[in-house]
Structure 1
């Protein structure tokens, strides 16, 4: 695999655009992804019982496993807006299909922003010609900018890899900063690839990859209403069709995992008000599931997050988070440590506190990316999860979000 320049347009046959249509006061707020060829499509959605109206429309349109375009707006979630909101979500797909000259059933839709506010569909309709006219390889990143809400950075990546004698490309863009919690979050992720693969395998690969990436991040413990991850595969790489879980499938899955993990970590790092990325690595577990549950428990703990903000090596909070995970533990075998580019150190070993250099610990924890290392010393399985610190700025952002 090789990281290359680009995002959702890096793969053959894909184009995107992003414009300001008027949902937001001044920033870009409408994006479009389009494939010149009908794609196999797959998606996963939020587990929240309160879902945005666009999700119901996308679920309906993707039932046949096909799609050719995705229209996305930011600034308005079109959630809890009743039948009028659902009607407007369908209108977004209708407007897109007419402008592109494709079947409306092959258009997916996503929205993100404030909940409970009627979607100004007129602004989207007025901007449609400009949106379609701007379609291209989008090297400026207009599409990824147009899906941002409280995000502070664009989140994009592209990879090239080989399937037989063919070069395959996969690219993605995502948004997410607050309301981030395992089992999807207030995040949107759009992946495109020119791989030739059967739809049911594309769906299986996406679900497995999401479970190891987006479902292992947490910013604030809130699972949002509009979360969606979508992948489109148009087959333009012309590799031999992947019809089973063989070596070619494994190569693709590795690339997909890399893309989704990369984007997931960017979301965690860009958490609202965050100053640092936190990764919790749990090793020495009896099963990957156990390690995953424990790592998630640590990174979603507000006390752990606050300690990381203050660069306080308070290992007691980590043990507390491990303890309320409902996983049976042998506390007398556990080791806890910290690591960053500034160094590493163990602070708790074999169920006992150990003397450590507080000055060195603070230096390690002041780094912009830190790791919490937990060794259960009970097996050979491991897992990691990602989060961010909890800061004063998070409260300020969410104290007046609607304004």
Structure 2
């Protein structure tokens, strides 16, 4: 079978999932290639030469209008006899919307990567045009089934995963004089990642605690300004994927103060390397990965004081750090391997192929249009501080309503 995975080569979670699926599904006779519309931004980059050979870009110069590009994409899928597609919801609006125009024989699997209202609205817009929906967290599946009418039998949870290394690079628990090496790894974006809480957290910690910030994003200049002359903080910049494991091995704790996540790859990568996570408690997401006090620490979204207290607890107890480091690696190894993820995808593809559900009638490409769920919503015009406050209140409300363990 031939499958297209809608993504362009880049350093990020959706493309990492593609590479794992390509390798993991090959033994099942499923050939997966990336497919995208518009520019890839890496056409002339030698570092991406091998990746460019395992995918295709439609209109790579970005010269066509949206409708014409959609028509060329549809023709490409038919001409190359592609049997199925993986749609990454809202990664690209055109590629998400193409589900409504594909011929009946093309299998369609929607992957929902995060828990934002915009992502849910986009997923709902194509719900009746896909054979199955893959949610990367329990929270995502629960929300779509309960609030957006997704069919439970065709809406499944398959968490993101990683290629698991045979041995951890560095043993943990060997701290000197109460020192501790913290790491933030991800997009420098306060809206989703809560990076402006990091300076406040560091203000609560002693001089023996250092923080490396690895990543790039729109809020990097302001974050640099927020830290000022704090020589405990190093801004590393973007890190190629092949360097991530060494980076994690050189640090003791991964700090993740996110407001929202889907299935954070950096969290799973850190646990696999024995880098202990101290992360926001996002219901149905991080609390299904981290067992608080066993293989990491959870704190309420926005509670940077609690995050600092967790870090101090670990700093004062090297034995606890070592124990959580071992437990984190066991957790990653038992539940988040790329082989397990690919096997779940293969099982789902086999089930849908054997008994495909009836979908909504395909739309003629001549009538191309974006449904309401794929257009810019009124919510997007809210001031960013208001949206951040709403997300914070939602997570705290959900946490308060959750039954006690």
TM-score by structure 1 length? 0.26
The structure carrying a bigger helix percent of its residues is 2
The structure carrying a bigger strand percent of its residues is 1
